[in-house]
Structures are given as structure tokens and as C-alpha cells.
A = this chain, B = another copy of it.
Amino acid sequence: MIELRHLRTLAAVDETGSLTAAAERLHLSQSALSHQLKELEERLGLPLLDRAARPPRPTQAGARLLVLARTVLPLVDEALDGLRGLARGRAGRLFVASECHSCLEWLLPRLRHYRDRFAGVELDVLSSASLDPLPRLLDGAVDVVLSPDRRDLPGLAWTPLFAYEMRLVLAASHALATRARAEPQDLARETLLVYPVTRGRLDVFTRWLWPAGVEPGRVRTVESTAMLIELAALGQGVAVLPDWAVAHALTERRIATLRLGEGLNGTLYAAVRAAETRLPHVAGFLAVAAG
């Protein structure tokens, strides 16, 4: 059937005013163009050009196809430009969703770095406190999911970003601060400061307290990591946070941290669609995030 090649040929002939010139523009021989046109005309059963006229005049049928070419070819070229941008990391979409609440603060400085290197990429961070982000990754609503638990699903590729240790955060003056490690029972009389999410999504419950059958004395929800640390420093309660999140506050000596039992370690992973791992703006994100 008809192909874009034919439309490009017609447009070139119309714009240059001769088959010869059009052939040159298209890097073809004049003969190739002549054959191509003839074959198309035969297939359609319609003449497209009046070759006798100079410059060659499109017939009614030719004019109709020219209109088509004029509307279609720019659309195609535009799309191809976009794809070239994608192929070179100069365009694309990167919607990042995180299952890990405190990770957002870890993410932001890296995202600034990423934005500098991939300026053309449409970047967004979705706080998916509610919805399970993995299905949304599969159906294309987001492009990267950050999660501490790696669930291998068909079509997904997982990349470890960094290992961390969850530590008990408490005021430097707290009675437990001198201990080498904390045990679940230690929290039975404490106020536990947590993010406002369901407990099933908090490692401190799922991997530490619940297995030991312990409930904290009180639970209080706090919006931000900074506030969590602040309240812990003031002795209003204790928190469980990844080591990197409290590294800065630790140097100020207002808080102390304890290992949880044998050590509650984890790894943050990034999931992307397997088919897109090679896309520059996706691979670039993984490199920046893991680096």
C-alpha cells in the first residue's frame, strides 16, 4: 500500500519542481523516483502528476495526496524528534513513587542532581502514601518505584540502591542511651513516634515488635522526619529511623541511636519496567540514585 516514502516523494517533487531535484534531495536516483511514482499511480489507478507541465503539476489525486503529506509528514517528523530525544536522554517522563516514607528526604537532593543532568525529562515525585505503587508501575502511571521490599513481578527490573540499618532514635539523655542495643520489650513503656501510615508499612512493627509480640506503651504520629527527630531529642518519645536519616542530628549530640536487636537491616530498591532499563533517562536515574 501507500507508504510515507511516497508522501515524502510527492512533497519533494512539489517543493523542488522537478523529479530530478526531488531525487537529489531524497538521495535517490531520478530513475528510482520515476519508478516509484509510476508504480504508485498504477496501484491507485490514478495519475498523480502531470509530467508534461513544467513544473510538474499535481492532478486532483496528486493534490489530495499532497494535502495528506502536508498534514502527516510534520506530525511524523515531530514524533521522531521526540523519540530521538528519548533515545539520547533529552526527553522522557520519570514519575517516581516511593513506598518508603523517609526515603523522600533521601531522594530529593539526588533528584536535584538528576534534574541537572537530564534537563529535558519531565520529573515528578508522587507521594503514594495510599495506593500500592507497583501496579501503577505496571500500568504505566509511574515510571520508578522505590521500595524496601523487593517483589519480583514479570516485567519489572529491580536495582538495589543502598543498604541501611534501622536504628532506635532517642534523646541523648534517655535512660536507654547508654545501652549497646535495644530489645522489643524496651518499648513496652515508651512512646513510639511514627509516620502517619498504617503500621503494616512500618518495619519497626512488622520486623521487630510484632514478631516479639510487643506493643509500644504509646504511639504518636508525626508528619516529618525532622519533627520526629526533634521530638525524640526533647524526650517526648522514641523513633525508629534509617541510619542515614539521623546521621546529621547524631553529630549534634542531641540524640543517640541504638541497634535494634541483632540489627534491623534493609536495602532500598528501585523498580522500573524491564523494557525501559536501557532508556537513558531511566538508566541515568538508577545511576544517580545508586551512586
Contacts and interface: CB of A to CB of B under 8 A. Distances in A.
Contacts of A155: 50, 52-53, 57
Interface stretch (A14-22, A75-83, A159-167, A186-194): A75-83
Contact of A68 (B60, B75, B274): B75
Contacts of A4: 1-4
A288 B67 CA distance: 30
B59 A273 contact: yes
A5 B143 CA distance: 29
A65 interface: yes
Contacts of A45: 87
A93 interface: yes
A97 to B, nearest CB: 16
Contacts of A80: 1-2
A65 B78 CA distance: 11
Interface stretch (A168-176, A261-269, A275-283): A275-283
13 contacts: A1-B80, A2-B80, A3-B4, A50-B273, A50-B274, A57-B155, A59-B273, A61-B83, A61-B86, A63-B140, A64-B82, A64-B86, A72-B75
Given A4-B4, A61-B279, A63-B140, 20 more contacts: A1-B5, A2-B80, A45-B87, A46-B279, A47-B278, A50-B275, A51-B275, A52-B155, A52-B274, A53-B138, A59-B275, A59-B279, A60-B92, A60-B279, A64-B79, A64-B82, A64-B83, A72-B72, A72-B75, A72-B76
Interface of A: 1-5, 44-47, 49-54, 57-61, 63-65, 67-68, 71-72, 75-76, 79-80, 82-83, 86-87, 92-93, 138-140, 143, 154-155, 273-276, 278-279
